[in-house]
Structure 1
Amino acid sequence: MTPINMLRAFAAALPLAAISLPALADIKDYEFRLVQSELKQGNGVTVAVQLIDKRSGKPVPDAVIFARRIDMAPDGMEMMASTIEGMPATEPGTYRFKTNLTMAGGWRLSLSAKIQGETGTLENKLILKVVP
């Protein structure tokens, strides 16, 4: 094969190589968003979040949430925390938690998750308002 023919073959194959490469994402391309940012005070309150791919705006299912905490840090009471437990999902990309929101005011929901196919850990802190 002559150098010119090799160059032509390489140029012809280049677009095919670009098509077959997967789109590369970064853990920063994802975020949790509150479904409701204002909730009623009480025991057994359900807090729901969606995990969103910011590039497409689509929900991301099957993430593994391995750390979660809810506390009153926005009101200067970080030590005022409540238990929080995962609940079954009702729709893909939506993650639900049951907690006791014992006081009205600002609450911070902290989540850490692994997303399938991505390296790194997604960590988000979301602020919600609890009303009487």
Structure 2
Amino acid sequence: MKKAVITLLFLVVLGAATAAGYRVGRGELALPAWVPPQVTAALAGLLPARAVTPVSTEALNDYEFRLVSPQARSGEALVAVELVHKPTGKPVPDAVIFARRIDMAPEDMAMMTAPLEPQPADKPGTYLFKTNLAMEGGWQVSLAAKVPGEAGTVQGKLILKAVQ
């Protein structure tokens, strides 16, 4: 029994050390300042070099989110957003919206949030969300999407006015 516990403990520590080393190598985790520079240099020599691939944001600037309507009724509401390729003016279908948030940041109440659930849309390039705008005023819709064929992320913050 004692041998099994020691083996399990060893495997847990080994796994944690491997994960920490991986995160240090990727630049996600910094070593404490009290670690001598010689140790840091030795560890850096053991880890694979971090490959940095620059992502051009020029192409991402060709895209923008637009509200279909700048107003919505307070309470249960549907919010329609278009993702547009600005140079052509055409909607962008098949984007993957992976981050979404709606809050009352325009009213200095960013902690006041509401659910923002994706819904099926009938028009390509239009993305529909169901929400509950609990009170009237300005709501900020924040979105992040991956566009097919583009590296990086298209982000947008839109202001929606909830009215009675």
In structure 2, the residue matched to 1:75 is 107
The aligned amino acid for 2:121 is A
In structure 1, the residue matched to 2:66 is 33
**Residues 1-132 of structure 1: pairs in structure 2 closer than 5 A:** 26-43=59-76, 45-132=77-164
Instruction: Report the CA distance between 1:128 and its aligned residue.
Output: 0.9
Aligned residues: percent identity?
60
- TM-score, normalised relative to structure 2: 0.64
CA distance in 2, matches of 1:83, 1:128: 15
Gaps of 5+ in 2: 1-57
The aligned amino acid for 1:103 is M
The aligned amino acid for 1:34 is L
Alpha-carbon displacement from aligned partner over 1:24-67 (angstroms, at most 9, x marks no partner): x7011000000000111112x10001110000000010000000
- Residue 145 of structure 2: SS of its match in structure 1? strand
Taking only aligned residues, the RMSD between alpha carbons, in angstroms, comes to 0.8
- TM-score, normalised relative to structure 1: 0.79
CA distance in 1, matches of 2:160, 2:121: 20
Instruction: Report the CA distance between 1:89 and its aligned residue.
Output: 1.8
The aligned amino acid for 2:67 is L
**Would you tell me which structure has more strand in proportion to its own residues?**
1
Aligned residues: 107
Higher CA-based Rg: 2
- Residue 74 of structure 1: SS of its match in structure 2? helix
In structure 1, the residue matched to 2:29 is none
CA distance in 1, matches of 2:98, 2:161: 24
The aligned amino acid for 2:71 is E
**Would you tell me which structure has more helix in proportion to its own residues?**
2
Gaps of 5+ in 1: 1-24
Q: Give the ranges of 4+ consecutive aligned residues of structure 1 lying more than 4 Å apart after TM superposition.
A: none
In structure 1, the residue matched to 2:9 is none
The aligned amino acid for 2:151 is T
